[in-house]
Amino acid sequence: MKYRKTMGNRMFDIVNYTLLSLLTLACLYPILHIVFASFSDPARLVAHKGLLLKPLGFTLDGYKLIFKDNSLLVGYRNTLIYVGLGTFVNMVMTIMGAFVLSRRDLYFKNAIMIVITITMFFGGGLIPWFLLMKDIGLFNNLWAMILPTALSTWNIIILRTGFQAIPLELEEAATIDGASQARILMYVILPLSKATLAVIFLYYLVGNWNSWFNAMVLLQDRDKFPLQLLMKEILVANDSSATTMGSAGGVVIDSAGSSTAYRELVKYCTIVVSTIPILMVYPFLQKYFVKGVYVGSIKG
Partner 1 sequence: MLTVRKNRELHSGMIAPKRKNTGQIIKKDFKKNWFAYLLAIPVIAWFLVFCYGPMWGVLIAFKDFKPLLGFADSQWVGFKHFIEFFEGPYFWRVVKNTLLLNLWGIVFGFTAPILLALMLNEARNSRFKKVVQTITYMPHFISLVVVCGMIHIFTADEGIITQILQFFTGKEYSSLLGYSSMFRPIYTFSGIWQSIGWESIIYLAAMSSIDPALYEAADIDGVGRIKKMWHITLPQISPVIVILFIFAIGGLMASGYEKIILLYNPLTYDTADVIASYVYRRGLREASLSYSTAVGLLSAIINFALLWATNRIAKRNSEVSLW
With contacts defined by CB under 8 A, how many residues of the chain interact with partner 1? Answer: 106
Instruction: State which of residues 129, 188, 198, 257 lies at the interface with partner 1 (CB under 8 A).
Output: 129
What's the count of helices (H) and strands (E) in the chain, helices before strands? Answer: 14, 0
Helices (H), 40-180: 42-47, 61-68, 70-102, 109-121, 126-135, 153-164, 168-176
Instruction: State which of residues 80, 91, 150, 261 lies at the interface with partner 1 (CB under 8 A).
Output: 150
Instruction: State which of residues 5, 127, 177, 220 lies at the interface with partner 1 (CB under 8 A).
Output: 127
146, 86 contact by CB (below 8 A): yes
Instruction: State which of residues 5, 7, 27, 254 lies at the interface with partner 1 (CB under 8 A).
Output: 27
Q: C-alpha dihedral over 129, 89, 107, 163, to 10 degrees?
A: 120
157, 94 contact by CB (below 8 A): no
Instruction: State which of residues 9, 70, 259, 260 lies at the interface with partner 1 (CB under 8 A).
Output: 9
Look at the chain and count its residues. Answer: 300
Shortest Cβ 65–partner 1 spacing (Å): 17
Nearer to partner 1, 59 or 231 (CB): 231
Helices (H), 123-259: 126-135, 153-164, 168-176, 181-184, 190-192, 194-210, 213-218, 227-235
151 touching partner 1, by CB under 8 A: yes
Query: Could you tell me the sign of the dihedral formed by the alpha carbons of 98, 198, 80, 273, in that order?
Result: negative
Shortest Cβ 215–partner 1 spacing (Å): 10
Where in 207-236 is the site for partner 1 (CB under 8 A)?
209-210, 212-213, 217, 228-229, 231-232, 234-236
Shortest Cβ 2–partner 1 spacing (Å): 5
Nearer to partner 1, 86 or 249 (CB): 249
Where in 168-197 is the site for partner 1 (CB under 8 A)?
180-182
Query: Going residue by residue from 269 to 298, which x/- string records binding to partner 1, judged by CB under 8 A?
Result: --x--xx--xx-xxx--x--xx--xx--xx
Where in 65-94 is the site for partner 1 (CB under 8 A)?
93
Instruction: State which of residues 60, 77, 119, 170 lies at the interface with partner 1 (CB under 8 A).
Output: 119
2 touching partner 1, by CB under 8 A: yes
Instruction: Report the Cα–Cα distance between both ends of the chain, in Å, rounded.
Output: 31
For 12, 33, 46, 243, 295, the CA distances from 248, given in Å and listed in that order, are 46, 19, 14, 8, 44
